[in-house]
Chain A
Amino acid sequence: FAYFYGKPRWVRQAPVVLTYAFSQNNMISYISLNVTRTVFKRAFSRWEQVIPVSFMEIEDYPSADIRIGFYYGHHGDGQPFDGVLGVLAHAFSPENGRFHLDASETWALDFETVKSRVAVDLESVATHEIGHVLGLAHSSVKEAVMYPSLSPRSKKVDLKIDDINGVQALYGSNPNFTFSSLLASEKSSNKG
């Protein structure tokens, strides 16, 4: 695992609660807002399980710590998106909180219903970008969630030891966290 230069993290009084919100004007229409919320909640909860940080969705986008939106091409942050595949999303290091996904992608929740060859798993990318929001940079471990590339029609949502060690070194461990609890939740989510 790796950190951003200077090892930035969210510095808050415990219990650390970070708020997040969706940009109502910059969402994709073919996945409902409720379903998108469910996917992101699952992605956030994977990080919540391992560190003493919790996430709460709020309505007020401008005041949220983490601000999520889907954008095409140029979108005002100097890092334009590039159409189908290529760059999928990006997020900014702490305590910036911006979290952008490329609206040109074919975002998918599963690959049974979505048959496109260029379908990209929304939950995998969400889980990866949340790692950036927390302060993790890219990992060179291919199995890790924080590895930079993700093949179309592939899913990678379960945090690996590399991801966990990295984020726990930044925030400490969730007192309820054990590796066996992690394996149990992996099994249940895979069955789901």
Chain B
Amino acid sequence: RILPEYSSTVIAVDAHTTATWHGFTRFLDAGKGSQVSGMSELKKYFSRFGYLPIPDTNNFTDIFDKEFQSAVLAYQTNLGLPVTGELDSDTISTIVSPRCGVSDTKTHNATFHATKH
């Protein structure tokens, strides 16, 4: 099913989850162009671990835009996941998994600046 680039498929979801990050499972299979209520919280997660710069407005949107897709691609590369650019099950299960608080990229303003070997 090919979605026109900027149409938005609004997915009704229950926004109230309490477990740390467990609520992110509701974004399963979201991809570019989709809009899911609460996706801004997931973007904060990506920002915290170095994949998304904080916008000038200081607020993230709920839209799965091009910039967020780049962040997802970088995350998948960094975590050794299949690089799909979508929130597939491997990616979501890694996102909700407990982890170390150290950013994956130590320079916040660059998407990927740790020196990989």
Residues of chain A touching chain B, judged by Cβ–Cβ distance below 8 Å, are 1-5, 7, 79, 81-91, 93, 120, 125, 128-129, 132, 137-138, 140-142, 147-152, 165-166, 169
Residues in A neighbouring B78, C-beta threshold 8 A: 138, 140
B114/A83 in contact, CB under 8 A = no
Interface size class of B (residues with CB under 8 A): 20 to 34
B79/A90 in contact, CB under 8 A = no
> Given the known A-B contacts A2-B116, A84-B19, are A140 and B102 also in contact in the complex, defined by CB atoms under 8 Å?
no
Residues in A neighbouring B12, C-beta threshold 8 A: none
Distance of A12 Cα from B104 Cα, bound (Å) = 27
B107/A166 in contact, CB under 8 A = no
Q: A5-B113, A89-B100, A89-B101 are in contact. List 8 more A-B contacts (CB 8 A).
A: A1-B117, A2-B116, A2-B117, A84-B19, A91-B102, A140-B78, A147-B79, A148-B99
Chain B 93-106 per-residue mask, 1 if CB under 8 angstroms from chain A, else 0: 01001111110101
Which residues of chain B from 49 to 71 have a CB within 8 Å of any chain A CB? 49
A140/B98 in contact, CB under 8 A = no
B4 sits at the interface (CB 8 A): no
Which of B20, B101, B104 makes the CB contact (< 8 A) with A137?
Answer: B104
> Given the known A-B contacts A93-B106, A138-B104, A141-B80, are A151 and B114 also in contact in the complex, defined by CB atoms under 8 Å?
no
B115/A2 in contact, CB under 8 A = yes
Distance of A138 Cα from B94 Cα, bound (Å) = 14
B77 sits at the interface (CB 8 A): yes
Residues in B neighbouring A88, C-beta threshold 8 A: 98-101
Distance of A91 Cα from B80 Cα, bound (Å) = 22
B117/A169 in contact, CB under 8 A = yes
Which of B99, B107, B114 makes the CB contact (< 8 A) with A150?
Answer: B99
Nearest-neighbour CB distance to chain B for A134, whole angstroms, equals 13
Distance of A124 Cα from B79 Cα, bound (Å) = 18
> Given the known A-B contacts A88-B99, A129-B100, A138-B100, are A149 and B106 also in contact in the complex, defined by CB atoms under 8 Å?
no
